[in-house]
Amino acid sequence: MSGVEGSASARRSSDVEPVIRTRGLTKRYGTLTAVDNLNLAVYPGEIFGLLGQNGAGKTTTILMLLGLTEPTKGEARVIGLDPAREPRLVKRRVGYLPDAVGFYEGLTGRQNLRYTARLNGLRGKEAEAAIGNVLAQVGLDDRADDRVGAYSRGMRQRLGIADALVKAPDVLILDEPTTAIDPLGVIEILDLLRRLVHERGLAILLSSHLLTQVQSVCDRIGIFAAGRLVGQGTVDELAATFGDGTAAIEVGLELTGDAEKARATSVLSALTGVESVVPPTDGRGTWQLHVRPATAEGLVRQQALAAAVEHGLHLVSIRPIVPSLDDIYRSAVVRRAA
């Protein structure tokens, strides 16, 4: 899936235009290629994660999308606009939260937002209504009139998101929004992003090197390595592309005695498509089935249900094991380097 768009997700149809699209987008600095032939599409109502280590090309991509640096070749469209030729129009339609967001420390959160509102042509009652709305959305109502110098890192990030939302953008671009935030603050930020998509129908492009957070909040993910997008899609699509061709299923059984457990292992091992079975070691009665090919996972689950009934095994749970984005990422980067 290198440099090509992932398969359509359930939320998208062929007649939905992406709010962000790039074709062959490339940026070179002398002999260094920071972004190499990027083909990307981000659709309304989704959170798309750009995942990669520092220096992978994520921030350079964002700068080109905002018209803050020009591509060496290729093209980008944001809300149908060319950022290289119409950067001001793009900035009016896109909310941007940089990695290091800056505010006037001696002003309150509300006063900082008033300044941003004026820059975007909002004044008077219209501005105050917009400011009140975004402060409520990011959960800063009770601290809006405190000076920003007293804000925590998490509060500053929430204020940054409010700052990006004041102009009612169609797209929100966030560069490493949860870096250096405590775990509770991270949860609050990620929950906020989900709400914004649900309530406003925003498209969000999120850049991060934190795999777990990207997996927890993003609908689709693009993996960056050395300036190239080496894969993109849902976690399941990426697992199918970069996995080892197997799937895993967790089966929970309530059994007593070693004889019953041995019988359960034998029954599960005999299912068509099951390559191996890992019996429980912690006493909780959870078996792990490794399935090959991965596409047989649904069929194996059906077989397991039927086998449990036929052989009198007390089945309490059965679920596919979601692949780890950490494993997918490592596999994608290794393949890129090979």
Q: Can you give the pLDDT of all 338 residues of the chain as single tens digits?
A: 333 344 334 345 457 899 999 999 999 999 999 999 999 999 999 999 999 988 899 999 999 999 999 999 999 999 999 999 999 999 999 999 998 888 999 999 999 999 999 998 999 999 999 999 999 989 899 999 999 999 998 899 999 999 999 999 999 999 998 887 888 888 888 998 998 898 888 999 999 998 888 888 999 999 999 899 999 999 888 988 888 888 999 999 998 888 999 999 999 999 999 999 999 986 568 999 999 998 899 999 999 999 999 999 999 999 998 888 888 998 888 887 66
> Is the distance from CB of 23 to CB of 39 less than 8 angstroms?
yes
Does 130 fall in a domain?
Answer: yes
| pLDDT for the residue numbered 179 | 80
| pLDDT for the residue numbered 4 | 38
Of the residues 185, 207, 241, the one at which a domain ends:
241
How many distinct structural domains can be found in the chain?
2
Does 113 fall in a domain?
Answer: yes
Taking Cα atoms as reference points, which of 278, 289, 285, 279 lies closest to residue 320? 289
> Domain check: are 115 and 195 in the same one?
yes
| pLDDT for the residue numbered 338 | 63
CATH number of the domain bearing residue 89 = 3.40.50.300
| pLDDT for the residue numbered 68 | 96
Does 332 fall in a domain?
Answer: no
> Domain check: are 230 and 94 in the same one?
yes
Structural domain containing residue 72: 20-241
**The pTM of the whole model exceeds 0.85:** no
Of the residues 220, 241, 262, the one at which a domain ends:
241
Residue 33, CA distances (Å) to 11, 60, 234, 336 in order: 34, 10, 27, 15
Taking Cα atoms as reference points, which of 63, 134, 160, 146 lies closest to residue 107? 146
Does 13 fall in a domain?
Answer: no
> Domain check: are 222 and 280 in the same one?
no
Of the residues 207, 241, 275, the one at which a domain ends:
241
> Domain check: are 105 and 221 in the same one?
yes
> Is the distance from CB of 324 to CB of 236 less than 8 angstroms?
no
> Domain check: are 157 and 298 in the same one?
no
Does 62 fall in a domain?
Answer: yes
> Domain check: are 269 and 203 in the same one?
no
CATH number of the domain bearing residue 255 = 3.30.70.100
